[in-house]
Amino acid sequence: MSDTFWDIATMPPNGRRSQGFARRLQQVDACFDDEKRTGFSSACLGEKLNIGYFDPRLERTFGHWGVITNARDMATWLKMLLLGGRSPHTNESVVPYSTIEKTTTAYSVPRESPDYDFPELGKITYGMAQRMSTYRGHRIIEHTGTIPGQTSRIMRVPGSGFGIAVMVNDHELGLHFVNVLTWRIMDHMLRLKPIDWERRLTSSDIQGTYYNEAYGRITLCLASGLPNVNSKTPSECKRTLADHPFDLSTDITDDATSPRFIARFGQTSTMYLLFSHKNESSFIASMGMIFPQTDARMPSIYWYWDAIFAKEGLAFAGNAWGAGLGVKHSTPWADGGLKKNAEVWFDKVVK
């Protein structure tokens, strides 16, 4: 397709439109851990279905689903906005500058935070169908777009004179891909030290409180490897991180800069858990203790197990329960998902 349309009814019947894709039979838990780190597993991806191009007339909605365009025209559109409403080809005024000013004037502050709450992402203000914020100190004007099977983000950085348009034809995985790609392009264009946004966005969902009927509540606190985001930090983490038995200057994994989390464990204040990043949403868990009478600190040097995170909770595997000889270890990635196959399962109760 080489033109832009405001109404799907005006498109020629043979117009080539991006085919949207959705999925079924997904094992969602598998998406949060891929030991091979070669991409998403077939269990995560499920069966891919071509749902065609979604017709907004089916929902009797035309506003936010009203533009059918292509990469070339999006580039022209972004150039026009960066030029204050003038055509990049003729320099003639296409959109009055006063109109662009009004659309990018903050009229409200949405209650929701940015897509992910990190110090590099500024608070959002909202104009006339435009969101204003900052990325690592640079002002950005942008908005996302979604229809079934399609995800997009159109962004411009007026102070640096460039814009970004990312369009992905995937329903379930599209938003994550759009976010990772957008911020990576921003780092490149602004000549900033790249941030590993794929790892960052995955790890951002881990900190929080988890519950198991036998073991009670544990609150994971970010100890190292990522910037600490105050608005996401549970209040009890200040105490946990101030006094624990682990030496964070060393690491049992290959990358000492990877995310690590600490949690108090059990009904007393003497037991702690350390979670060291392994790959994707897999961590290596170990235990440590503090004896208040003598202030002795004993991190475990021999007992480790696997901790795998999913949206719904946390699975322990790899002989976390200390079973004896002859007891088969669980296979958390087997059919049925993490919760069914975990040796111990914690539901996530507080983000």
CATH number of the domain that residue 127 is part of: 3.40.710.10
Supply the range of the domain harboring residue 242: 205-350
For the chain, what percent of residues have pLDDT higher than 70?
A: 75
Residue 128 sits in the same domain as residue 212: no
Residue 191 sits in the same domain as residue 238: no
Q: Which amino acid is at 206?
A: I
Closest CA to 303 of 291, 315, 318, 314: 318
H or E segment to which residue 314 belongs: strand 313-317
Question: CA 210, 213, 216, 219: dihedral to nearest 10 degrees?
Answer: 0
Residue 125 sits in the same domain as residue 224: no
Residue 95 in domain: yes
Using 50, 70 and 90 to split pLDDT, how confident is the model at 13? low
Residue 182 sits in the same domain as residue 307: no
Residue 125 in domain: yes
Q: How many degrees, rounded to 5, is the angle at CA 187 between CA 186 and CA 190?
A: 80
Residue 192 sits in the same domain as residue 303: no
Indicate if the pLDDT at residue 141 is higher than 80.
Answer: yes
Using 50, 70 and 90 to split pLDDT, how confident is the model at 35? very low
CB–CB of 350/209 below 8 Å?
yes
Instruction: Give the range with max mean pLDDT: 24-28, 202-206, 295-299.
Output: 295-299
The whole-number pLDDT of residue 270 equals 74
Residue 170 sits in the same domain as residue 80: yes
Of 154, 169, 200, which marks where a domain is finished?
A: 200
Residue 157 sits in the same domain as residue 179: yes
Of 200, 217, 252, which marks where a domain is finished?
A: 200
Q: Which amino acid is at 202?
A: T
Residue 44 in domain: no
> What is the DSSP annotation of 55-97?
-GGGGT--STT--B--HHHHHHHHHHHHTTSB-TTT--BSS-H
Residue-wise pLDDT tens digits, 144-170: 888 778 888 999 999 999 999 999 988
Using 50, 70 and 90 to split pLDDT, how confident is the model at 134? very high
Residue 94 sits in the same domain as residue 243: no
H or E segment to which residue 200 belongs: helix 197-203
The whole-number pLDDT of residue 230 equals 40
Return the structure tokens found at 218.
Answer: 């544990």
Of 155, 171, 200, which marks where a domain is finished?
A: 200
Question: For 97-122, what is the mean pLDDT?
Answer: 78
Residue-wise pLDDT tens digits, 39-62: 667 777 777 788 787 776 665 555
H or E segment to which residue 240 belongs: helix 237-242
Query: Bigger pLDDT: 166 or 333?
Result: 166
Residue 255 sits in the same domain as residue 292: yes
Least trusted range by pLDDT, from 121-130, 140-149, 177-186, 296-305: 296-305
Residue 27 in domain: no
Q: What pTM was estimated for this model as a whole?
A: 0.62
Q: Give the C-alpha separation, 264 to 24, whole Å.
A: 38
Q: Structurally, how many domains does the chain consist of?
A: 2
Indicate if the pLDDT at residue 260 is higher than 80.
Answer: yes
Question: For 239-263, what is the mean pLDDT?
Answer: 74
Residue 75 in domain: yes
Residue 89 sits in the same domain as residue 132: yes
Residue 182 sits in the same domain as residue 276: no
Residue-wise pLDDT tens digits, 80-93: 999 999 999 999 99
Residue 224 sits in the same domain as residue 336: yes
Residue 31 in domain: no
Residue 283 in domain: yes
Residue 122 in domain: yes
